[in-house]
Structure 1
């Protein structure tokens, strides 16, 4: 992995005086670079705002508009890479320019916030879940299409995805949706704004975390300027911003040795995206038994308001786990291999899912062993990175916004392959041309990623050892 060495006093002195420091050799040049990249990026985000609308709805995307969207995203990713590439080479940014850059990141979000969602309508499901909770209806019991929901149906009801399936969103999300609905009832902008608050909070908590770990504060730009994060949260309003916020919050609490609070926050994280429970074994040397009890007690407490649902309440999660498949890399490769080798078709999917889940479990056990010998906070966080990254690689569903889970960890461990993948993953939106992927998309999207990942793993091990 092309990770950046942990800065030392000696390295900092060299960086402060070295002519390669990309913003200190000429302060005006450094600020000009930030302003130039920020200005053209802001214009590009405004162009995305103008593109958003009926022509880029997930059910009926206009191919010409989809072309423009993908080209604009590629340009934004180019600007993003130009900003962070000096950081990836170990250079430093003048602190005077950091706040300019952060301000631009906030500006990008403000530009996209009022735009219509591009190729996504998940916000309507969030609003529906919150609406049902306000009405006192358990969203796990009734799917939106259930006839019993007719008295409660809002104007946006027909825009909800998979209306025949009850919600798949765990209780922490349900609490967030409920609060948003109470403050901004039936309001798309209000829901997006509420979720954006968590995203902005993540930026500033990353600054706190970087200070605790004695890392350069400018590394927060890896998150705050990420086109993937900005598009998927400020434009599409995905609730993964809450997951990222809680993940960073948990890490900050760990650095402060607030282990009881960190156990509660990890439980809240688990009840946004269930990947949080996969991190639990990694705490075996950090928490005492009471902290594990706090974790499970919080899980039970948050689920308790929904315990009246029948087996139908698990239908959404069961359907997701067994049947959904989108933009999968390793999963599709193994599934195709099983078919070629003559495995019976009804066994291919279950076998592929079981095999890849086993890979995730083995990775967790490996990291547990690693942490027996490495006990600093940064070692634990690196294990988070390894486990979540492995989960994403092995997942049968890789929507672009799923990478928001990993985005805060890329601030601490800026791996080139994963950073590039936050750009390549947008090729998955080519699916909306005709509800299928062009033949070239997955070889490019995953091929480039895996080649670079293996290259860095083989030839950049020294840098990885230095950072952890």
Structure 2
């Protein structure tokens, strides 16, 4: 043990420093304290990168550290998001045999008929925005909420712990399939830790209980099985990914080149049938109206940390004199759809490395044109980037901290100068990687 410590003094010191920073983040940070937030965030990115560099050839140490960093959050209440109150609310409704898509929490309270014990605390915790809108979490996500509520009993903290365990388990699954896929692509297997050790992933997914990690586990498993030519099992996992978060739906057109038209149609049919079976217990006219109206809010009402949309909004104010989000949001969504269809015909999608690159850029386009870009949305392109030669997502995951300034303001008002700095850096690094040097072919570009 003494020899081990002597040989690893600096990595051990960095590891312990990361632990101290994560503990401070989990248990001693008010989100209104932006300076402390910024300091911890920047420190964690620097220390995590140094730790990865020093131990990059020892996956056991890196995996152990990644798990320990996550376990440090185990009994902490999320301090950057109130969403977990709604997760538990939906889960408890399911345990009561109530369809969570039919009524908003506010409607239960206005009727005076509380659906379960402890509803008052969850209602007050989730805030008026969540309480006043229908749930937009797909059925498989709801199942995780129900399991956490069942295993956690009537304890909010108990439910939080189980939600966190599910997310940590998903990250371990991402490690398993990620290494296999990297190995098949003849890329360094430990590149998966560029995702697993990224502070954004640890803080926002494990810490604040966002389920992008669970969605990504199913997506990565589907892509690995696709490479192994196990089409039906791949479609099953792809369906599960969509049933956690809807975002993988936009990736489906990109599979045409990889599968060919006939297999692609079969793949889509299998995915559709499986999704129908997952949604079937909840289907009704009210479900469709509430679920899709909730999704529509993201394109026509909500604004946060946007880039291109904010420029369009400014032009709208100058020309029309009012906020044109009601028109611009759906129009930008249409541009995203057309862009993905154009990317679907690219020859490079025939190879897995090219397909992964296309999926990453389709998500990047979606985020750059979105009206709302919460930091945890970056998890998807960040994971996909480890299978490509592009590193600008690492930079974006660092720079997105500037958007958290809004949490320090009473009305969550954004500082547009900070948002400008964030995106100037991101666009600068991205354009340099794409256009700033010759597009050299890597051996993995040819790997299937």
- State the TM-score, normalized to the length of structure 1: 0.84
Please report how far the alpha carbon of residue 137 of structure 1 lies from its aligned counterpart in structure 2 after TM superposition: 1.0
Q: Is the 8 A contact 1:417 1:453 kept in 2?
A: yes
> What SS is found at the alignment partner of 1:402?
helix
The reply to whether residue 277 of structure 1 matches residue 277 of structure 2 is: no
Shift of 1:130: 0.8
Q: CA deviation at 1:464?
A: 6.5
Q: Between Structure 1 and Structure 2, how many residues are aligned? A: 423
Matching residue within 419, 422, 441 for 2:418? 441
- Structure 1 residue 150 displacement after superposition: 1.1
8 Å CA contact retained: 2:177, 2:220: yes
Change (3 A) 1:317 1:354: closer
Alignment of 1:303-382 (within 5 A): 303-310=279-286, 311-340=289-318, 342-343=319-320, 345=322, 348-371=324-347, 374-382=349-357
Q: TM-score, normalised by structure 2?
A: 0.88
Aligned to 1:397: 372
1:245-283 superposed Cα distances (whole Å, 9 cap, x missing partner): 112111111121111111122222222222211111112
User: Where does structure 1 differ by over 6 angstroms across 4 or more consecutive aligned residues?
Assistant: 27-30
CA contact (8 A) 2:170 2:213 kept: yes
Which residue does 2:36 correspond to in 1? 68
Structure 1 residues 136 and 447: alpha-carbon distance in aligned structure 2, compared to 1, 3 A threshold: same
- Aligned pair 1:219/2:188, yes or no? no
Instruction: Give a deviation string over 1:385-419, Cα, whole Å, max 9, x none.
Output: 11111111111111111111223212212523211
Instruction: Note if contact 1:127-1:177 (Cα within 8 Å) is conserved in structure 2.
Output: yes
Partner Cα separation in structure 1 for residue 442 and residue 346 of structure 2: 13
How big is the shift at 1:171?
Answer: 1.5
Per-residue CA distance 1:303-351 (angstroms, 9 max, x = gap): 11111351244432232332111111111112112322x13636x2133
Q: 1:460 to 1:215 in 2, by over 3 A?
A: same
Aligned to 1:17: none
Which structure would you say has the larger RCO, counting Cα contacts within 8 Å and 6 or more residues apart? 1
Q: CA deviation at 1:380?
A: 1.4
Give, in whole Å, the separation in 2 of the partners of 1:32 and 1:375: 46
Q: State the distance in 2 between where 1:374 and 1:143 align.
A: 42
Change over 3 Å in CA distance of 1:251–1:337 after alignment to 2: same
Q: CA offsets per residue over residues 89-135 of structure 1, 9 Å max, x none?
A: xxx943xx221122111111111222221221111111111111111
Corresponding residue for residue 174 of structure 1: 142
Does 2:114 match 1:150?
Answer: yes
Q: Of 283, 290, 299, which residue of structure 1 is paired with 2:275? A: 299
* Aligned twin of 2:67: 106
Match of 1:163 in 2: 131
CA contact (8 A) 2:144 2:163 kept: no
Partners in 2 of 1:460 and 1:103 — Cα distance?
A: 37
Query: Which residue in the other structure is 1:122 paired with?
Result: 83
Residue range with higher mean Cα deviation, 179-188 or 129-138: 179-188
- Is 1:41 the counterpart of 2:9? The answer is no
RMSD: 2.4
Deviations 1:407-440 (A, max 9, x none): 3212212523211110111211110121212242
> Displacement of 1:85 after TM fit?
6.5
- Give the 3-state SS of the residue equivalent to 2:368 in structure 1: helix
Q: Quick check: 1:232 aligned with 2:215?
A: no
Contact 2:52 2:62 in 1 (8 A): no
| Distance in 2, Cα, partners of 1:114 & 1:82 | 28
CA contact (8 A) 2:182 2:188 kept: yes
Alpha carbons 1:196, 1:237 under 8 Å: kept? no
Q: Determine whether 1:268 maps to 2:240.
A: yes
Is the 2:232–2:267 contact (alpha carbons within 8 Å) kept by the matching residues of 1? Answer: yes
**Deviation of the 1:51 alpha carbon:** 1.0
Q: Are 1:424 and 2:424 an aligned pair?
A: no
Q: Which runs of 5+ in 1 are unaligned?
A: 1-26, 87-91
For residues 130-162 of structure 1, give each alpha carbon's deviation from its aligned partner in whole angstroms, at most 9, with x where no partner exists.
111111111111111113551325232311142
Which range moves more in the overlay, 448-457 or 143-152?
143-152
